């Protein structure tokens, strides 16, 4: 049986990866502004009625982490109120909702990887707005899956990998922070994970174990400097731009929003409940750069 999944937004990395995903079981229909504006509850309800999906997927978000510090109302309008609007509209149509969140809901000061039940403690506006969105989704729709991911990149839009390629074409040496740990996660791998989540929901729509918060990131861990070094090693091999990397500390690269020093997330719950795990982060870098190189 092939089901329809409505995806909020059209231009984001996850939305575009979902739109490009070919699966036998799920057809992803992406709808963005102005037709679907998640800050407008009526527009969400109208699109759900028109599309007639079996599940609603909400990757739409305000993701300008530094800008959010000076635009808290704009971040909350999308990440909190918008998330609530989507979850409420899905619940009114008796549909499950899959909502995306972030590693920024944690303070980042834990020594080990964060599990889903670890204490949250966002340090900036962006993280607080996303945590508020998580709570709103859970309160509005019992049939919810909240997927926390991190360090997302893809051939689409603006992201760290593409920024490194652009800067490497201009400079021989790049200074990159080396004391923040996490896991780069390839957006098409997230899309494949979403398909697995939907398969599980469709197979057992009344199930209780698939509801709740899950971490969805690639396997392995690294830091931003090693991520950049890996990007350049693969890019150079494929004939693309590369640069030398000079490791620096977070203190040497101040930003308006504080970044978590530790963004490593435990993914065992995702594997246990959905039978799915994402590939190693290095595998994603290889495939992303191959896709970019192919044009």
Which residues does the annotation mark as catalytic? 126
Which residue from 136, 137, 131 is spatially nearest to 119, judged by alpha carbons?
Answer: 131
Give the gyration radius of the chain's Cα atoms: 19
Q: Which residue is associated with the tokens 């704009």?
A: 74
CA–CA dist 85, 46 (Å, integer): 12
Which residue from 60, 78, 82, 58 is spatially nearest to 5, judged by alpha carbons?
Answer: 58
Other Cβ atoms within 10 Å of 27 Cβ, number: 14
Residue 252's Cβ-side half-sphere holds a number of Cα atoms within 13 Å equal to: 10
CA–CA dist 265, 217 (Å, integer): 7
CA–CA dist 213, 248 (Å, integer): 34
Q: Which residue is associated with the tokens 């997230």?
A: 190
């Amino acid at each position: 049986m092939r089901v329809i999944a409505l995806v909020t937004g059209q231009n984001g990395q996850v939305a575009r990866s979902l739109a490009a995903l070919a699966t036998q079981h799920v057809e992803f229909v992406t709808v963005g502004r102005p037709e679907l504006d998640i800050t407008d509850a009526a527009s969400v309800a109208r699109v759900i009625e028109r599309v007639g999906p079996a599940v609603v997927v909400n990757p739409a978000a305000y993701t300008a982490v530094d800008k959010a510090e000076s635009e808290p109302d704009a971040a909350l309008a999308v990440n909190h109120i918008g998330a609530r609007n989507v979850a409420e509209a899905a619940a009114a149509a008796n549909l499950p909702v899959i909502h995306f969140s972030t590693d920024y809901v944690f303070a980042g000061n834990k020594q080990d990887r964060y599990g889903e039940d670890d204490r949250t403690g966002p340090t900036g506006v962006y993280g607080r707005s996303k945590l508020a969105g998580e709570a709103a989704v859970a309160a509005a729709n019992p049939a919810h899956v909240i997927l926390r991911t991190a360090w997302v990149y893809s051939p689409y839009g603006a992201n760290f990998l593409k920024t490194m390629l652009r800067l490497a074409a201009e400079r021989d040496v790049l200074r990159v922070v080396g004391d923040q740990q996490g896991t780069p996660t390839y957006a098409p791998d997230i899309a494949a994970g979403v398909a697995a989540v939907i398969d599980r929901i469709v197979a057992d729509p009344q199930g209780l174990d698939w509801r709740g918060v899950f971490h969805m990131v690639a396997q392995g861990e690294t830091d931003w400097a090693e991520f950049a070094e890996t990007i350049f090693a693969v890019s150079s091999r494929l004939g693309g731009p590369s640069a030398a990397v000079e490791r620096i500390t977070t203190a040497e690269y101040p930003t308006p929003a504080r970044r978590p020093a530790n963004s490593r997330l435990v993914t065992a719950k995702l594997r246990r409940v959905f039978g799915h795990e994402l590939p190693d982060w290095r595998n994603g870098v290889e495939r992303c750069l191959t896709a970019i190189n192919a044009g």
